[in-house]
């Protein structure tokens, strides 16, 4: 069988697994246990991973909050903003082609009193910037746009969206699950205040992800989803998945180091596949010609 579903999940890279294994056995400590060396060793591994991930993203280590995956990160970002900023406004703007982790979260908040505006995309799957600008009101507290689409591969103009949100004075959350580890993602440079990612999309383990939360200009605060213990600076309580976090950092390090060569390889495969498929009568590309991921093709 040839596996074509790497946007759903990827196998764990052997080098990632090798980095993780000691933290299941030898270095098995709880990162919150600071009273003894075993716990401090685990904490050191977590903080080293946080440093590594933040370096790739171009942010501060303290702005990275570990979660169980992108779905939790999306929920923490969206519900966390609504819970803390709803006195300012209850309006959220979201792109209509977002992942279910975002769309279902917004539907849930509608039942809690949020006002959700969905912005459609054009025939190529791209955001209509004029429609987006018109959708943002004085009481808009959050704009949501994925960095890259999991089905079409479209890469949205995040920098342009970030500039618009800065002008309008609203926060921007990007679900970058399909982009991190595959293309350059720098949330601070793009004007993104909240960004979700998941390790298993770039050859890391399942069950671990992270949320970038801007710590300055502006400093974003969230209403946490989980109480108990105050882990992750109060943003996400619960014992940290040390092996998973170590694996996530290693996977992202490898993906970043090998990104240019890997994307060159993928583009060749991508172009060959598409040229063959598009030669079939009646087929057409269902994506942007210029702004799309090197690992995704969508033909109809």
CATH of the domain at 209: 3.40.640.10
pLDDT tens, position by position, 44-97: 999 999 999 999 999 999 999 999 999 999 999 999 999 999 999 999 999 999
- The reported pLDDT for the residue numbered 286 is 84
Q: Give a yes or no: residue 82 inside a domain.
A: yes
Q: How many folded domains does the chain comprise?
A: 1
pLDDT tens, position by position, 105-134: 999 999 999 999 999 999 889 999 999 999
Q: Which domain holds residue 97?
A: 22-250
Which pairs count as long-range contacts for 108-113, CB under 8 Å and 24+ apart, including other chains?
108/79, 109/78, 109/79, 109/82, 112/82, 113/86
Q: Give a yes or no: residue 5 inside a domain.
A: no
Question: How many angstroms separate the Cα of 34 from the Cα of each of 62, 140, 164, 171?
Answer: 18, 42, 44, 35
Longest CA–CA separation in the chain, Å: 69
Distance CA 174, CA 156 (A): 10
Q: Give a yes or no: residue 223 inside a domain.
A: yes
pLDDT tens, position by position, 148-183: 999 999 999 999 999 999 999 999 999 999 999 999
Identify the band that residue 285 occupies on the pLDDT scale cut at 50, 70 and 90.
Answer: confident
Q: Give a yes or no: residue 8 inside a domain.
A: no
Identify the band that residue 99 occupies on the pLDDT scale cut at 50, 70 and 90.
Answer: very high
Q: Give a yes or no: residue 137 inside a domain.
A: yes
Distance CA 198, CA 179 (A): 10
């Amino acid at each position: 069988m040839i596996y074509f579903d790497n946007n759903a999940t990827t196998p764990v890279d052997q080098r990632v697994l090798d980095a993780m294994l000691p933290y299941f056995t030898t270095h098995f400590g709880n990162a919150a246990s600071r009273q003894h060396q075993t716990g401090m060793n685990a904490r050191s591994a977590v903080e080293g991973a946080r440093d590594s991930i933040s370096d790739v993203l171009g942010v501060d280590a303290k702005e990275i909050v570990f979660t169980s995956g992108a779905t939790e990160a999306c929920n923490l970002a969206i519900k966390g903003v609504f819970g803390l900023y709803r006195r300012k406004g209850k309006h959220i703007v979201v792109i209509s082609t977002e992942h279910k982790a975002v769309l279902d979260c917004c539907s849930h908040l509608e039942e809690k009193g949020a006002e959700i505006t969905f912005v459609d995309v054009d025939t190529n799957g791209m955001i209509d910037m004029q429609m987006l600008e018109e959708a943002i009101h004085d009481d808009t507290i959050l704009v949501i746009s994925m960095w890259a689409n999991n089905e079409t591969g479209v890469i949205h103009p995040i920098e342009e969206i970030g500039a618009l949100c800065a002008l309008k004075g609203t926060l921007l959350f990007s679900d970058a699950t399909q982009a991190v580890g595959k293309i350059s993602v720098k949330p601070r440079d793009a004007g993104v205040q909240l960004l979700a990612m998941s390790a298993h999309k770039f050859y890391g383990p399942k069950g671990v992800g992270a949320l970038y939360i801007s710590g300055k200009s502006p400093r974003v605060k969230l209403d946490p989803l989980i109480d108990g213990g105050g882990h992750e600076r109060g943003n996400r309580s619960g014992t940290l998945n040390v092996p998973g976090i170590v694996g996530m950092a290693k996977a992202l390090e490898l993906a970043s180091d090998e990104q240019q060569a890997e994307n060159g390889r993928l583009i060749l495969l991508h172009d060959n596949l598409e040229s063959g498929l598009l030669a079939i009568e009646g087929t057409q590309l269902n994506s942007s010609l210029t702004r799309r991921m090197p690992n995704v093709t969508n033909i109809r």
